[in-house]
Structure 1
């Protein structure tokens, strides 16, 4: 296949290399001129592409000449109008896809789309406008816009917190005192499993579905983050003593049953 990856960052670049090694022709976008040469060196056809929020890219028509597009652009942080801005970015992309050869789209979303309610949450359990953060509301609007398009088929993957390689969870909370939510279970996923799930969706030609991408294990924060800190010889965080036990666990049942996916890193504690 010919696959375009919009966003060759921490996840997108190793995904591009993985799919390249599977003999797909890979086109990748970056916002950095310096990274263009890096992509070339990895035998990924590079495109300098920015969304500001409208598409800004010279000589990019060939980027959209693909069988499948992986859309991996999280909402920008620090904006007052993050929901509107991200939706304009997505609309700009949809406009470009319409009339192109792209038949399939995989949208990288996040478990931040779920409302801050306790209990186990699965893919149908979203409430428009009720995510904990504006970025979650922005992603949910983007998901709905993409899923209703007629000219291409969209599959959404809602990944949990990303970790692996140079992204060590120990750095998130090391040294902090009296952190709240110590009993809250972590909803994390290793980068290897992100790539594995995307690869499985491509190979099985899955279309029109939404999947949660989180590991099997959900240790509580007050167990996980101190252990991660100690493993790196960092000062462990401490947590508030009196903490509610009513917290959210994101279910991965659909990704394991529908895709038959088995996690390479099922328990974040092993990291």
Structure 2
């Protein structure tokens, strides 16, 4: 049974994950670049370490038995080669410290592939970020010490796509949405760690996939926001939909929010 978990990136996902692990009896080492966040982590009984991507891991004598890599590349001035280089060094250090690795990735690696997407679908990354994720996923899986979790679009406290889409004019209203709630992500990550499910590729999405037009129109009304307007042009393009049933079955997890319509809208 693992006792010490490291989380690189205690932000929107990593911080509540750390809290859940602490409450489950684990010792958690967490990183942040912010002094105020380090103080908050310490107040929550998390062993806090200052860390910026590009630096070596901030622990050596007390390496975690599992390292959760949750370091999104960011959207501004993304330097693919630097990100890959820094993350590769991080993965190699974790391997040398004999830590199991859980790499948090994204279903964006499937690019423009349409239709039902299962874990056996080969990625076809289109963006620099997605291409970087595929390279890093391969490194983790080939190490023999890690697993990969590809996440659909995230929803949770202060995070809901309807906030950005409200009032806009949009196309492709018939395409299906692929979303997953923060709490379900945390449940799956804890299950992977507790069950020691290594050298595995998982992906995660709610099992319900309403159309963009139906869901975001409903969510805007629910949130008291101007609904987006969708083009009347019908293309019969349903896009892709992530079928995570195999991952959920392997882990024995039942989603708390199986449909996007079940997910609370928490914008403040």
- TM class by smaller structure: over 0.9
- Are 2:161 and 1:169 aligned? yes
Structure 1 segment 52-201 matched on structure 2, within 5 A: 54-55=54-55, 60-62=58-60, 65-79=63-77, 81-82=79-80, 84-102=81-99, 104-127=100-123, 130-150=124-144, 153-177=145-169, 179-201=170-192
Alpha-carbon distance between aligned partners in 2 of 1:157 and 1:80, rounded to the nearest angstrom: 22
Q: Cα RMSD between the aligned structures?
A: 1.6
| Cα distance change, pair 63–214 in 1 and its aligned pair in 2 (3 A) | farther
- Aligned twin of 2:220: 229
| Cα distance change, pair 125–236 in 1 and its aligned pair in 2 (3 A) | same
- 4+ residue stretches of structure 1 with deviation over 4 A? none
Whether the aligned pair in 1 keeps the contact of 2:66 and 2:101 (CA below 8 Å) is yes
C-alpha deviation, 1:64, in angstroms: 6.2
Whether the aligned pair in 1 keeps the contact of 2:146 and 2:200 (CA below 8 Å) is yes
C-alpha deviation, 1:109, in angstroms: 0.3
Whether the aligned pair in 2 keeps the contact of 1:185 and 1:218 (CA below 8 Å) is yes
SS in 1 for 2:251: coil
Whether the aligned pair in 2 keeps the contact of 1:64 and 1:101 (CA below 8 Å) is no
Cα deviations across residues 157-194 of structure 1 (Å, max 9, x unaligned)? Answer: 101000012213320200102x0111111100000000
Whether the aligned pair in 2 keeps the contact of 1:169 and 1:228 (CA below 8 Å) is no
Unaligned runs of 5+ in 1: none
TM-score with structure 2 setting the length: 0.92
Cα deviations across residues 89-139 of structure 1 (Å, max 9, x unaligned)? Answer: 21120232233141x111100000003022111123224xx3232211111
Whether the aligned pair in 2 keeps the contact of 1:187 and 1:250 (CA below 8 Å) is yes
Give the total of aligned pairs. Answer: 260
